[in-house]
């Protein structure tokens, strides 16, 4: 069974601060996806990383996939209240089911104005 350890589980910060969310595993993943879920809505894909060492930027969000494809991080610069939500990492297994993603436990981020 593949597991993704996501940390921290809860994060409450002030507007303008920086933060990093981590997803770690002992297993290799073929891809890592990051989703954000706002209250009352379904998760929305932010990014997919597939290559070890890959870095992707989405405005103030920077995503990194570890060289060994076992870990990933999400860094937010100058957080804004609109960034508030549940952040989920999800790994695609290498050799496992084509349809089954492994989700981390999620990080509930609150950005206070």
How far are the Cα atoms of 28, 42, 56, 78 from residue 86, in angstroms, in the given order? 24, 10, 20, 18
Q: Is the dihedral of CA 59, 60, 61, 62 positive or negative?
A: positive
Residues contributing to the site for another protein (CB under 8 A): 30-31, 33, 35, 40-45, 48, 50, 86, 88, 90-93, 96-101, 103-106, 108
Nearer to another protein by Cβ, of 16 and 53: the residue is 53
* Closer residue to another protein (CB): 79 or 90: 90
Q: How far is the CB of 15 from another protein (least distance, A)?
A: 22
Q: Is 37 left (phi over 0), alpha (psi -120 to 50) or beta?
A: beta
- What's the closest the beta carbon of residue 10 comes to another protein, in angstroms? 9
CB of 91 to another protein, least distance (A): 8
Which residue lies nearer to another protein by CB, 35 or 63? Answer: 35
Per-residue DSSP letter, 104: P
Count other Cβ atoms within 10 Å, centred on residue 21.
23
Q: Which is nearer to another protein, 50 or 78 (CB)?
A: 50
**Least distance in Å: CB of 8 to another protein?**
13
* Residue among 14, 37, 18 at smallest CA distance from 78: 18
């Amino acid at each position: 069974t593949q597991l993704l350890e996501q940390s921290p589980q809860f994060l409450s910060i002030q507007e303008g601060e920086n933060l990093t969310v981590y997803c770690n595993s002992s297993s290799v993943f073929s891809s890592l996806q990051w989703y954000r879920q706002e209250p009352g809505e379904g998760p929305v894909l932010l990014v997919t990383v597939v290559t070890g060492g890959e870095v992707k930027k989405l405005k103030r969000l920077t995503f990194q996939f570890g060289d060994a494809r076992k870990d990933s991080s999400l860094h937010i610069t100058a957080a804004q209240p609109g960034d508030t939500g549940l952040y989920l990492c999800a790994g695609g297994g290498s050799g496992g089911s084509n349809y089954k993603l492994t989700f981390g436990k999620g990080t509930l981020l609150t950005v206070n104005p």
